Amino acid sequence: MKKFNFKINGNNYEVKIDSLEDDLASVQVNGIAYSVELEKKSSVTKTPKLVRSVAVPTTDSSQSIAKTSNPSAPKGGGTIKSPLPGVILKLHVKVGDTVNLSQELITLEAMKMENSIQADKAGVVEAIHFNTNDAVMEGDVLITIK
């Protein structure tokens, strides 16, 4: 378990603590095993275990309002929101471009990784709300598609 080196009155002692339960310790001093009774009850410090609930990331301001449209939903206008905070590295479309489902729209750098933001609907790019090198927050509207 633990190993200590002591020097007492010029003599060297190598002490190993094998186990420690309540007020009884099993130790070895220079290779000889001893059972030692402690005057005061000893407690072994345990590292607490952190238990966290599972967090599901979302950019929805309200759970009843979806951040993007469902691909199987009726086609029409909508917005593409940033799924996480980051910096826009590259815009792959411009206003007036026709986009298809799953077409790459933006490359977003977040946490030192490049993320491809793709279209979840087909349509025409109506507005681009940020430029290259702009910082965006989670849930910011990046592109409006009509």
Taken in order of first residue, the domains within the chain and their CATH numbers are: 2-37 (no CATH), 78-145 (2.40.50.100)
Residue-wise pLDDT for 110-125, tens only, equals 888 999 998 888 889 9
How confident is the model over 9-18, as a mean pLDDT? 90
Residue-wise pLDDT for 18-36, tens only, equals 888 877 889 898 989 999 8
Range of lowest pLDDT (25-34, 35-44, 84-93, 96-105): 35-44
Produce one character per residue of 102-123: b if its CB has 16 or more CB atoms within 10 Å, e if not.
Answer: eeebbbbeeeeeebebebbbeb
Q: What pTM did the predictor assign?
A: 0.47
Gap between the Cα atoms of 146 and 143, Å rounded: 10
